[in-house]
Amino acid sequence: MRRLKDLIARRAMLVLAAVPGLLVFLMLFGLLSRSKAILALKSFTGLLFGSAWHPLKGEFGFLPFLAGTLWVTLVAMVIAVPVSLLTAVYLSEYAPRVIREFTKPVVDLLAGIPSVVYGVWGVLMVVPFVGNVLAPLFGVYSSGYSVLSGGIVLAIMVFPTIIHVALEVFSAVPHELRETSLSLGATTWETVKHVVLRKGLQGIIAAVVLGVSRAFGETMAVLMVVGNVARLPKSVFDPAYPLPALIANNYGEMMSVPRYDSALMFAALVLLLVVLVFNLGARLILVRIERKVE
Amino acid sequence: MRTSRRRRLEERVFKVLMLASTVIVTASLLVIVATVVVKSLPALRLSMLVQTPKGGYYLGKEGGILNAITGSLYLASGATLLAVLLSLPVVLYINLYARKKSVLATFTRFSLDVLWGIPSIVFGAFGFIVMMTLGLRASLLAGIITVGLLEIPIMARAMDEVIRLVPASLTEASSSLGATKLETALKVVVRQALPGILTAVLIAFGRGIGDAASVLFTAGFTDSLPRSLFQPAATLPLAIFFQLGTPFPEVQERAYASAAVLTLIILAISLGSRALIKRFTRHSIK
């Protein structure tokens, strides 16, 4: 009887263990089959690089949205990469125990804050700051709802991702290497520069790639501060309309315009593909590092 | 000597930059929470928490966000339950049943990592497709399914980390006493890793209750309290989003207040789970 229970449990668990992998494929398959209607009309690249967006006339060009996503992601990474990496280096190489114990939960909490709350904060603080302070400083007009605002909010949202992965990478660098460098008379920073960062380079790349892919798909917070104007942005003070925001904003009317739903599912498919490629790359690097440590 | 001075200067400069970065990261949490809480004060009233929206609520009339609070709690609870039912067996299997370095275990871990990176709006779109396929409409149930799927990678990865740490000697001792794998799994491993498992559940719950993009398509929105699994349910993140989208300052203030409520729920969950770990680790075998 006990053996039978064990056997049943083993079989059931085996089936369930296949679920995560299956889910990834189901997502790809589901989105692909829903995008068929729009792909029948125009080629993959034609959709991606077309710049005319008139759903009512049946024109679906995703270029403005793709450009919006790339702009916002780029700005976010320009801010987030140096800040997160410097923080990670500080926490792993310099910080006294007390500070480390205090900062790690803070980073965890930052990761746990819902994206709408980031959005509300962005509207309250970042948008006015960009519109009333930064834009006049550069002598341009901006409503504040801009690529820059989106990038700033997004940067804070990806801090935890990059910091976490970077910390893991740094802790995988053997202590003997650091000690050798220090005993040769190198300062702590020199040790970081020549040993820790060099040894961890691949892992750092993986951390940044994971950050990029997190930024790429973030929806609500960006949507709330970025302005949502379907035009190619010319500067960081211009509004943009990222791909995820497009999906989220139009779910209401997508069933009433022909092929609109298919176009939005295509947008989701593009997001999924980009994020999958980035994640696969980053995870493969990280798995390799983990193997080396073991 | 000059090079040594330059070396020391470089060391200093980077140390300052690192400290500044750490301050930026830490301060952003405080600034975000403080801004939202302070801005919410004018509108935050008890009546807001215990009433549903009355007629004209979104124009600035009386009412509250009880519909969204209960909706979110139901939705996140259901989704978390679903995620536990799916995640725990998966994690137990890849840690106890599968051989070390088995292809399935590696593949499953990898898939979980990949799923973890998929944006919630994509989960939302996928949930929408599932909904259409099953013939459901936007409802509490569709929301629960979507958010449940979203929570699986978050929960399973966190559980995997703690269950991996259960000493092999414990499971071996249990097996040598004649326990089957299932008995070992449930009575030894789960008990030993319980604090970590609970934390994983709470983290996933927090993520589920705060996610907006995935419920946008699937859970719908309504002004009344959720009554059935097959009816639309309001959620807190969407209530914030919609209130902020109105042109009325009074209603926007309520969006801030709702955001404060959501933030406080999330903070309470994270701090609670930390306390849980401290409390329960006393009972596990070191």
- DSSP conformation letters of A67-124: HHHHHHHHHHHHHHHHHHHHHHHIIIII--HHHHHHHHHHHHHHHHS-HHHHHHHIII
Instruction: Test B181 with A10 for CB contact under 8 angstroms.
Output: yes
Q: Is A241 exposed, middle or buried (0-12, 13-18, 19+ CB in 10 A)?
A: buried
Q: Is A248 on the interface with B (CB under 8 A)?
A: yes
Do A147 and A240 touch, CB atoms closer than 8 A? yes
Closest to B182 (Cβ–Cβ): which among A6, A23, A27? A6
Minimal C-alpha gap between A251 and chain B (Å) = 7
Instruction: Name residue A227's beta-bridge partners.
Output: A240
Tokens for B210, please give them: 């705060």
Two tokens, residue B28: 């952003």
Nearest beta carbon to residue B32 from set A113, A163, A287: A113
Residue A216's φ and ψ, nearest 5 degrees, are -60, -35
**Beta-carbon separation of A117 and B36 below 8 A:** yes
pLDDT value, residue B153: 94
Q: Which domains does chain A have, with CATH numbers?
A: 34-293 (1.10.3720.10)
Instruction: Report chain A's C-alpha Rg in angstroms.
Output: 23
Here the ipTM equals 0.90
Q: Answer yes or no: are the C-beta atoms of A194 and A248 closer than 8 Å.
A: no
- The β-bridge relationship of strands A59-60 and A53-54 is antiparallel
Q: One digit per residue, pLDDT tens: chain A, 294 residues?
A: 778 888 888 888 888 888 888 999 999 999 999 888 888 888 888 788 887 788 777 788 888 899 999 999 999 999 999 999 999 999 999 989 899 888 988 998 999 899 999 999 999 999 999 988 988 888 888 888 999 999 999 999 999 999 999 999 998 888 888 889 988 888 888 888 888 988 889 899 999 999 999 999 888 899 999 988 888 888 888 889 999 999 888 877 777 777 888 888 999 999 999 999 999 999 888 888 877 776
Whether the CB-CB separation of A117 and B35 falls below 8 Å is answered with no
CA of A2 vs chain B CAs: smallest distance (Å)? 7
* CA A272, chain centre distance (Å): 12
**Helices A201-217 & A63-89 angle (0-180, nearest 10):** 140
* CA angle, A96 then B17 then A174, to 5°: 50
Interchain contact, A13 vs B97, CB within 8 Å: yes
Q: CA of B237 to nearest chain A CA: how many angstroms apart?
A: 6
Under 8 Å CB-to-CB from A215, ≥6 apart: which residues? Answer: A72, A73, A76, A77, A80, A154, A157, A158
Mind listing the pLDDT tens digit of every residue in chain B (286 residues)? 456 788 888 889 999 999 999 999 999 999 999 999 998 888 777 777 777 777 667 776 777 788 889 999 999 999 999 999 999 999 988 888 877 778 888 889 889 999 999 999 999 999 999 988 888 888 899 999 999 999 999 999 999 988 888 888 888 888 888 788 888 888 888 888 888 898 899 999 999 999 988 888 888 888 777 787 888 888 999 999 888 888 888 888 888 999 999 999 999 998 888 887 777 665 555 5
**Which chain B residues are Cβ-neighbours of A26 within 8 angstroms?**
126
A215 CB neighbours in chain B (<8 A) are none
Using CA atoms, how far residue B215 sits from A242, A248, A262, in Å, is 19, 10, 19
Could A123 and B28 be called an inter-chain contact, meaning their C-beta atoms sit closer than 8 Å?
no
Cα separation, A11 vs A1, in Å, equals 15
Residue A167's pLDDT is: 93
Q: Which of A106, A121, A145, A181 to mutate to test the interface with B (most CBs of B within 10 A)?
A: A121
Q: How many CB pairs under 8 A join A and B?
A: 259
Shortest CA distance from A123: residue in chain B: B244
